[in-house]
Amino acid sequence: MPSLGVKVFEQATSVSTPNVASVGVPFVVGTAPVHAAEQPAPINTPVLCTSWSEAVKQFGYSDDWEKYSLCEFMYSHFKLYGCQPVVFLNVLDPASAKETVSAQTVSVIGHQVTLPSETITASIQVSTTSAEGTGATTLEPDTDYISFYDGLHCVLELQEDGKAYSAASLSIAYDQVKPDAVKESDIADGIAQADAAVTAAGVVPDLLCAPGWSHIPEIAILMAVKAANVSGMFRAKAIVDCDCSSNGVTDYTKLTAYKDKNSLTNENMILCWPMVRLAGHTFHLSTQLAGLMAQVDTGNRGIPFESPSNKALQIDACVLADGSEINLTWPQVESIAGEWGVVTALNFPGRGWAAKGNYTACFPANTDVKDHFIPVSRMFDFIGNTLIRTFWEKLDKPMIDALRDSILQTCNNWLDGLRADGCLYGARCAMLAEENPVTNLLAGHITLHVYNAPPVPAQQIDFLLEYDVDYMTAALTG
């Protein structure tokens, strides 16, 4: 039947809207007290959290950061830097990493018993202590007592209408979590799950962190390798720590030898030294640097063209692993940050504590500007990740000139916007004949060349002071 009348059809817009990559999104592997969480997150699974309360609800919280490294990160990122989101992965499984504590007599004070924070409440067995020939009575949870965590302990509170409200002591047995059962291999397996963050959590992390573990060279190297290839296509940066214990670096002059000995020289690695402290809390510098980078990125509309160097850290001292303070002078910081490719901290008069260091760990061995400057390298990652996300939808479409023109126009429009905003000195995307041989085109393979130049950080500003005699003569004779 012939078609009659007037009809209107729609065609897809030839220029796409860029699907801009998220930046300052950490993927953090470590241990958490999930046995104390209100809604425990699954083990070895990436979980996206956008607030402190959400993180605590799913992972629990403890001030014992040596045992529970994820707690250090959530405290720093949410409370000190006010940044989100974070993808956490906990490797501590209370179902397997545990031990049994045999029944023991425990004193009751104020109708409460205080147990270690590692206590697994579901395993608690409570009974009255037998006295004067009377038998022990088993107490029931939620009827005779309730249990809860206060951040430092597991508290068992007797109920007024229960069978043992006035008891002076109780016999208690329980299972407790063993955080020290977690091995390097567990952390390594967790780092590999950065790929799963893309699908399970729905975000592409661009910062990989493992405070409390990344000071182990093998873990740091593994993180850098994964950072170069998240989910088979995206790029990130691994923020890692130097070992600040007696087995690592306690004297800044040993940093270069430590880097070389342990092969901590990857362009996708940002190496930090030493540790830092705030109000009695000791942090790995990698933890605070991740928060600072996310904060700076957020202030720049989610574009990572600015270095975190010379931006305020939330600290009051630099410390080693044993807690001893170290005072780094400016000449020492110049060597650490300016010559050796390590990010550190400086207390500058009138400005307070700030991060100092613009280089990735590959410096000074690698002097390619796209690799060794943190903001330049991150901009390359950002542009690459955005191009993948934006043009993935173009795959498997007919390879015709309209497809080529659509990609080129969309890409160049976006790059022009970054240049206009001061995020790039300049950039362009082109399809070059010499990079697209007929054999590749016949195989459905096209190559687009993106020229770009992110701004480099201003590392030195010189002023030349000269006495001008003319000013003196003019003042005295004029």
Indicate the SS3 state at residue 17: coil
132 pLDDT higher than 50? no
pLDDT score for 19: 87
Q: What is the pLDDT of residues 413-464, one digit of tens each?
A: 999 999 999 999 999 999 999 999 999 999 999 999 999 999 999 999 999 9
Q: How many CB atoms lie within 10 A of CB 455?
A: 16
Q: Phi first, then psi: give them for residue 423, nearest 5 degrees.
A: -85, -15
Mean of pLDDT values over 197-211: 93
Q: What is the residue extent of each domain of the chain?
A: 26-92+183-374, 98-177, 397-478
Smallest Cα–Cα separation from 392: which of 22, 25, 19?
19
Question: Is the pTM of the predicted complex or chain greater than 0.85?
Answer: yes
User: Measuring CA to CA, how many Å separate 131 from each of 102, 128, 160?
Assistant: 20, 9, 21
pLDDT band of residue 84 (cuts 50, 70, 90) is: very high
- Find the DSSP H helices in 78-174: none
Portion of the chain with pLDDT greater than 70, in percent:
96
The mean-pLDDT minimum among 8-22, 266-280, 306-320 falls in 8-22
Mean of pLDDT values over 44-64: 96
131 pLDDT higher than 60? no
State the Cα–Cα distance between residues 304 and 290, nearest whole angstrom: 12
Q: Strands of 150-267 (E only): list them.
A: 153-158, 169-177, 207-209, 237-241
Query: Helix 184-192 crosses helix 217-227 at what angle (to 10 degrees)?
Result: 10
User: Measuring CA to CA, how many Å separate 200 from each of 47, 112, 197?
Assistant: 8, 41, 5
Arithmetic mean of pLDDT over the chain: 95
Q: What is the pLDDT of residues 341-355, one digit of tens each?
A: 999 999 999 999 999
228 pLDDT higher than 90? yes
pLDDT band of residue 1 (cuts 50, 70, 90) is: low
Q: What is the pLDDT of residues 342-397, one digit of tens each?
A: 999 999 999 999 999 999 999 999 999 999 999 999 999 999 999 999 999 999 99
38 pLDDT higher than 70? yes
State the Cα–Cα distance between residues 385 and 374, nearest whole angstrom: 16
Asked if CATH classification 3.40.50.11780 holds for the domain at 26-92+183-374, the reply, yes or no, is: yes
